[in-house]
Structure 1
Amino acid sequence: MEPTAHSQQEASTPSSMETAEDLAFKLNVAVRDGNREDVLELLEKGADVNSKAESGWTPLQSAVQANKEDLVWLLMEKGACPYARKDNGGTAFTEAAIAGNVNILELLLDCGLNINDHDDNGFTAFMEAAWYGRKEALKFLYSKGANVNLRRAVSEEKAKLHKGGATALMDACREGHFSVVKTLVQEMGADVNICDNRGRNALIHALKKGCAKERYESAVSIGHFLLDHGVDVNSKDECGKTALILAVEMRSPDLVKALLEKGEIDIDDADEKGNTALMVAVEGNDYNIANLLCEKGARTDVGNLIAIANRKRACDMERLLRQYNARLVPETLKDWEPNSKRWRDQLKKLYKIYRPMIGKLKIFQQIQQRIQNTSQGGIYLGLHGGTEVAVRISRSTEGDKEKTFFEQCGNCEHLLKLFQFEEAGGYIYLCFPLWEKNLEEHLQEPEDQMDYKDALRMIFQAVRELHSLGFAHQNLHPSNFFIDLGGKIYLADFDNKRKLIEGNKELVNSDLEALGRLVLYVLRGGRKPLQQVSTEDLAANSPDYREALDLVGSLVSHDERGLEGLSKHPYFWSKQTRFKFLKSIWNKIKDLHDRKAVFQAPNATESFPYPSWTKKIDEDVLNIMKNPRKGGPFRYRNDVIDLLRLIRNLDEHPDIRISNKIGDHAEYFLKLFPALTIYVYNSLRQNPEYSHFADIQALSL
């Protein structure tokens, strides 16, 4: 007998005795057990093929993890979604890479999955295959276009904690899969010198777990292999440990010797606790490695090595150290207090620990000592001859160019200046006066108050100074403006985006446009991203609203006044300067035959904003001014000329009755007529015959 439509519906609906959750749980268990019959029966009962078990696992993901190809095919035929994600963002595709099953990877790729798709921790299928040593899966994914050098993408919050950024090569090195490492480098061209967000390259990842007995041999082999393929030996881990220090911790004399033979490594470099490779060897009572380091010239006058050897009861070690002039000298360090408030703790730490000196510079290239990231590398804290500095490290060739540029800034008030520099090992260390925060950081700190007008005045001057040197900045981002303890702002270009102007007005115009956005960003208090701010974000009730609006418009429209002229814009005038300007205009025009012509510029587009101003002003004030104590009554007209006449007369001939009524004259009129100053200023400026009236220098304000 054929089943009816009703009976078919019942078969596909969970029975009253079993909930959808029950069936989902059983389906996942059946899949993990590889029980095909139970899987089919549960699906017939109505179990959701895309249901999720604990941590968001779907039956398809479970089948892939269990490496059950037949169940994967079955579930796909029954409508399993290949794109479904676990709670951590992982998919069946990444699970197939972990399992190393090429057939399943190919099946899922045919469904249209992105080969470089990643989970919430940034792991791609290619990275998972490398982590678990699945060489065949790795080769397959590479043949299908997987990005070999893709760095682990993480959320902004994790990136701030310096998580992520690792590559598949780092994963293979970390887990000790030597054959996979060779495949990645030799066959796929993996870059051995990419660093993760903690500044660690593949070599550091290879040696981090090398102390573990089961990882020792593979770590040594990978270390030698990477050294043969040009890996940077000066990379460090998150604790400041160099590859040399890690090799000493592993107690591998062969690897220590190989590192030293590279000739590029600083044998006396120290970690965040001030421990050098020799100190680590002495602490571990490793005579052979200590002897090797001493023979290669490791310093014995730091770290109280004799005291460590004595504590270890290591007589042979003590004799070795004394042979190389080690002495038992108690180290006393006077207390020291930095000037910087923000960087105080890290500067004190730098002051106390041992660091090999670079000329007069003491520096520690470690994340905690990094004060800013740039596209060209990090900026680090330093002490140069005891002075607190910010240090930029560059290869000598590029560094010499930067040095030349910063030396040109020496006579500029608001461009970052070069304090000192040192050179060593093919690198140049550029030292700058230490700043507290950049502009972006400052604006995002609610407790930090800023005089926006004064800040923008300094910013304008900085850009003017750069242009006067013949350069356009091309990257006027708030992170490139630095603020010192005294609140002074300096502009720098650590990303090397600047360009020689050489008559190219477009470069100057692009800086003006960027400056317009920066003005809005500052006036918005940094509460909105730079690229998203607009004039709509300005507070219309701000006393400087009209002036700020005009200033931004002038910058964006590449106003002919340029930065020199716009630096004298009414936005930067004080309240008293604005009022004095308005008063002075009447004195300039009162004897003219045609006063109206002053405010009728040929290309003027703005009309007088207060055509009924006599109705806005306080009635008692207007009546007093209409009927002066001497002379007959005077009737004020609703035009700008008579408004300026009233402002001038009222202030030049004060009346106690008016002062008692309105208080400070400037405060009263500028609040009542906020658009008056910019209207008068622009009307005069745009009128060729009377533009000199707008020159505040000529007005002796």
Structure 2
Amino acid sequence: MTEPTAHNHQKPSTPSSMETAEDLALKLNAAVRDSNIKDVLELLEKGADVNSKAESGWTPLQSAVQADDEDLVRLLLDKGACPHARKDNGGTAFTEAAIVGNVNMLKLLLDHGLNINDHDDNGFTAFMEAAWYGKEEALKFLYSKGADVNLRRVVSEEKAKLHKGGATALMDACKEGHLSAVKILVEEMGADVNICDNKDRNALIHALEKGCVKEKYKSAVSIGLFLMDHGVDVTSKDECGKTALILAVEMRSLDLVKALLEKGEIDIDDADEEGNTALMVAVEKNDESIAELLCEKGARTTVGNLIAVANRNRANNMVRLLRKHHAKFVPETPKDWEPNSKRWRDQLKKLYQIYRPMVGKLKTFQYIQQRIQNTSQGGIYLGLYDGTEVAVRIRRSTEGDKEKSFFDQCANCERLLKLFQSEKARGYMYLCFPLWEKNLEEHLQEPDGLQLDYKDALRMIFQAVRELHSLGFAHQDLHPSNFFIDLGGKIYLADFDNKRKLIEGKKELVNSDLEALSRLVLYVLTGGRKPLQQVSTKDLAADSPDYKEALDLVSSLVSHDERGLEGLSKHPYFWSKQSRFKFLKSIWNKIKDLHNRKAIFPARKATERFPYPQWTKEIDPDVLIIMENPRKGRSYEYSNDVTDLLRFIRNLDEHPDASISNIIGDHAEYFLKVFPALTIYVYNTLRRNPKYSHFADIQDPSL
């Protein structure tokens, strides 16, 4: 930023007692709007704040720019006006200069350190404003200074959730009908004609949406034809599912309709969210020329009850035209239908009720209100395949064939998302999958996510990753959004971003998946309270009965444990309480006849110290007394080593005493609560001992 001149820091005069600072500010802004330099100077001398704000946050500098008064702009800057000041909507003097189209003011403000791609609260940059208002010289200047021609409108997270924002300067020029600016953007600046905004609309849709307005008609037709000559995707839709063809028919532009049909890429029978096709719109508007062209090009006349619409319009000629092309009056009786899905119920009922051209046995609608998930390679949409609710992924045939080949390999896997059916049409592959309710991330973020059985969920997640590895692939993107949950609570793994890689002996790929799985374990066990990359072991609930096992499982995944995913799927974390207790009981039976049994759990030089060196003091004293002095048999004083604790557990459970049960209740519950770290300690100590590691090889029956 240019250093301020010395007089920028002159102390302003104190306002007179008769005029408040607010009075002076109002007068200053009025003088600026009147371009009255004399009054501006006098007011500044009286102490008016050069950066005061009027209604909606306008500063004198911004008002001077809007008035296109260069001399006044320079004066205010010399007097200390801040070029970075923002109106209530986040706009600056720089964006105002672009609206005015004054290149000299843009240059002057840039010299004061303005960011060329700075934007207001609605995401508008100066470049976008220049495009919106058709200021061609300003466009060229800003482009020469590095303005990003393909920058998409940046909006807040709240607005993005409402699908606002994402538009480009090209879309703005198209929407406002500035043909010359559109040509400059595309031919001279390389603007991408196929970028879509957050409502999935490309430049062509923006050009045609206002085409029905009389003043916009001519420019909309010209821009539409120009974009088609420059490779725009003619299959794009607006937020209501209207195709470019439907919009062209609404405009009643025969030239556009002809040009679109000549492209050969569009489905002439595609319909909007209300089920209206281009032919239905033409009949509704009683445009015989367009209706005849559509009929001659093969538009279906058997949907929409076209005869009834034409009769309502008293359009006898249209009726004759339609009958010539085999249209018939067919009374419709609506059918009631209830989908299985709870989350997608309303959208599925809408899809069921509206007309859609079938793709084989598939009915789907590729537009934003029917989209259930975004991926880096396109959206996933709702569909009905022969009446079955499905999720639909649409790919070009070549990519679709490759993807289908992968999903065919998943056919015998229980926890990998499987292909239900597929269809091909017009160079596209429609891959249909059993419909899911939510992904894991969504499930945990919603209140009912608390109902998820974390242990059961992680079992399914581990199984899914194992199955993928068994097919020879590493996933490389084990994000909770890639795990889908169906109505029955079953979890399935998918890879719609195609980040998987062939393992082919590359152990680092498997290790990478294991590390990602460790983060996912923490994410699930902490209920998704923190983003995946921020969660750590510190977020685990230390009072959880599975705390120690969970810590060990995460640590084992991170350390690329030699057991691998197959072995870690049998980790004690996944054992039930009864299985953990039975495991502890069983160890004494296995070691009791060994002469060196105490050496199995060495007190010194152990990888992991025994966590309860004074365990006899942690047991209920009455229970200890009863166990050391049984009614039948010899007395025995238990020592504080681990082998005696295992002996104590085994004896207590194998020789039940009603008085003990009255004190401690369920034996497994009691011991796992008093000694929560015992199971994992015994398990790991045995597992790391080559001679006795087989003692740790048990399987939880609940798996």
TM-score normalised by length of structure 2: 0.97
Is the Cα–Cα contact under 8 Å of residues 117 and 125 in structure 1 kept in the other structure?
yes
Is the Cα–Cα contact under 8 Å of residues 194 and 202 in structure 1 kept in the other structure?
yes
Question: Any residues of structure 2 matched to 1:158-197 within 5 Å, and which?
Answer: 158-197=159-198
Bigger mean CA deviation after superposition, 592-601 or 514-523: 592-601
Question: Any residues of structure 2 matched to 1:167-566 within 5 Å, and which?
Answer: 167-448=168-449, 449-566=451-568
Is the Cα–Cα contact under 8 Å of residues 196 and 203 in structure 2 kept in the other structure?
yes
Q: CA deviation at 1:690?
A: 0.9
Deviations 1:187-219 (A, max 9, x none): 000011111111100000000000000000000
- Counterpart code for 1:625: M
Q: Equivalents in 1 of 2:615, 2:558: separation in Å?
A: 32
Is the Cα–Cα contact under 8 Å of residues 395 and 430 in structure 2 kept in the other structure?
yes
Secondary structure (helix, strand or coil) at the match of 1:335 reads coil
Residue of structure 2 equivalent to 1:114: 115
Q: Equivalents in 2 of 1:151, 1:415: separation in Å?
A: 35
Is the Cα–Cα contact under 8 Å of residues 211 and 220 in structure 2 kept in the other structure?
yes
Q: CA deviation at 1:10?
A: 9.0
Question: Aligned in 2, Cα 1:631/1:161: closer, same or farther, shift over 3 Å?
Answer: same
Q: Equivalents in 1 of 2:57, 2:530: separation in Å?
A: 36
Deviations 1:514-573 (A, max 9, x none): 111111111111111111100000000011111111111111111111110110011100
Is the Cα–Cα contact under 8 Å of residues 207 and 223 in structure 1 kept in the other structure?
yes
Q: CA deviation at 1:112?
A: 2.0
Q: Equivalents in 2 of 1:440, 1:140: separation in Å?
A: 45
Match of 2:610 among 608, 611, 618: 608
Is the Cα–Cα contact under 8 Å of residues 600 and 687 in structure 1 kept in the other structure?
no
Residue of structure 2 equivalent to 1:658: 660
Q: Equivalents in 2 of 1:18, 1:616: separation in Å?
A: 81
Q: Equivalents in 1 of 2:403, 2:27: separation in Å?
A: 66
Match of 1:620 among 612, 619, 622: 622
Is the Cα–Cα contact under 8 Å of residues 472 and 501 in structure 1 kept in the other structure?
yes
- Counterpart code for 1:492: A
Q: CA deviation at 1:599?
A: 1.9
Is the Cα–Cα contact under 8 Å of residues 601 and 686 in structure 1 kept in the other structure?
no
- Counterpart code for 1:526: G
Q: Equivalents in 1 of 2:575, 2:563: separation in Å?
A: 17
Q: Equivalents in 1 of 2:129, 2:51: separation in Å?
A: 24
Secondary structure (helix, strand or coil) at the match of 2:533 reads helix
Is the Cα–Cα contact under 8 Å of residues 35 and 72 in structure 2 kept in the other structure?
yes
Question: Aligned in 2, Cα 1:545/1:446: closer, same or farther, shift over 3 Å?
Answer: same
Q: CA deviation at 1:333?
A: 3.8
- Counterpart code for 2:386: G
Q: Equivalents in 1 of 2:701, 2:466: separation in Å?
A: 24
Q: CA deviation at 1:429?
A: 0.4
Is the Cα–Cα contact under 8 Å of residues 241 and 270 in structure 1 kept in the other structure?
yes
Residue of structure 1 equivalent to 2:590: 588
Secondary structure (helix, strand or coil) at the match of 1:530 reads coil
Q: CA deviation at 1:11?
A: 6.0
Bigger mean CA deviation after superposition, 11-20 or 479-488: 11-20
Secondary structure (helix, strand or coil) at the match of 1:421 reads strand
Q: CA deviation at 1:222?
A: 0.2
Where structure 2 has 5 or more consecutive residues not aligned to the other structure, the ranges are 1-8
Q: Equivalents in 2 of 1:637, 1:602: separation in Å?
A: 17
Deviations 1:137-187 (A, max 9, x none): 000000011111111111111111111111100000000000000000000
Q: CA deviation at 1:16?
A: 2.3
Is the Cα–Cα contact under 8 Å of residues 382 and 389 in structure 2 kept in the other structure?
yes
Residue of structure 2 equivalent to 1:5: none
- Counterpart code for 2:694: H
- Counterpart code for 2:22: E
Is the Cα–Cα contact under 8 Å of residues 347 and 370 in structure 2 kept in the other structure?
yes
Residue of structure 2 equivalent to 1:21: 22
Is the Cα–Cα contact under 8 Å of residues 570 and 700 in structure 2 kept in the other structure?
no
Q: Equivalents in 1 of 2:176, 2:564: separation in Å?
A: 59
Q: CA deviation at 1:603?
A: 7.9
Q: Equivalents in 2 of 1:497, 1:181: separation in Å?
A: 37
Question: Aligned in 2, Cα 1:71/1:360: closer, same or farther, shift over 3 Å?
Answer: same
Is the Cα–Cα contact under 8 Å of residues 601 and 687 in structure 1 kept in the other structure?
no
- Counterpart code for 1:233: V
Secondary structure (helix, strand or coil) at the match of 1:411 reads coil
Is the Cα–Cα contact under 8 Å of residues 601 and 683 in structure 1 kept in the other structure?
no
Match of 1:676 among 672, 675, 678: 678
Q: Equivalents in 1 of 2:277, 2:373: separation in Å?
A: 26
Q: CA deviation at 1:596?
A: 2.1
Question: Aligned in 2, Cα 1:601/1:379: closer, same or farther, shift over 3 Å?
Answer: farther
- Counterpart code for 2:28: L
Secondary structure (helix, strand or coil) at the match of 1:459 reads helix
Q: Equivalents in 1 of 2:454, 2:23: separation in Å?
A: 63
Deviations 1:446-501 (A, max 9, x none): 13410000000000000000010011111111110000010000000000111111
Q: Equivalents in 1 of 2:589, 2:12: separation in Å?
A: 97
Bigger mean CA deviation after superposition, 641-650 or 331-340: 331-340
Residue of structure 1 equivalent to 2:62: 61
Aligned residues: 694
Residue of structure 1 equivalent to 2:698: 696
Q: CA deviation at 1:660?
A: 0.2
Deviations 1:81-105 (A, max 9, x none): 1111122111111111111111111
Deviations 1:235-281 (A, max 9, x none): 00000000000000001011111110111111100000000000000
Deviations 1:380-429 (A, max 9, x none): 00011111100000111111111111111000000000011011111110
Bigger mean CA deviation after superposition, 293-302 or 79-88: 79-88
Q: Equivalents in 2 of 1:85, 1:559: separation in Å?
A: 56
Question: Any residues of structure 2 matched to 1:628-667 within 5 Å, and which?
Answer: 628-667=630-669
Quote the RMSD (CA, aligned, Å). Answer: 1.6
Where structure 1 has 5 or more consecutive residues not aligned to the other structure, the ranges are 1-7
Deviations 1:655-697 (A, max 9, x none): 1110000100110110011111111111111111111111014
- Counterpart code for 1:174: K
Deviations 1:332-368 (A, max 9, x none): 2432111111111111111111000011110011111
Residue of structure 2 equivalent to 1:125: 126
Bigger mean CA deviation after superposition, 290-299 or 79-88: 79-88
Q: Name the % identity.
A: 84
Secondary structure (helix, strand or coil) at the match of 2:521 reads helix
Bigger mean CA deviation after superposition, 79-88 or 596-605: 596-605
Is the Cα–Cα contact under 8 Å of residues 117 and 125 in structure 2 kept in the other structure?
yes
Secondary structure (helix, strand or coil) at the match of 2:411 reads helix
Is the Cα–Cα contact under 8 Å of residues 603 and 609 in structure 2 kept in the other structure?
no
Is the Cα–Cα contact under 8 Å of residues 584 and 699 in structure 1 kept in the other structure?
no
- Counterpart code for 1:487: G
Question: Aligned in 2, Cα 1:322/1:454: closer, same or farther, shift over 3 Å?
Answer: same
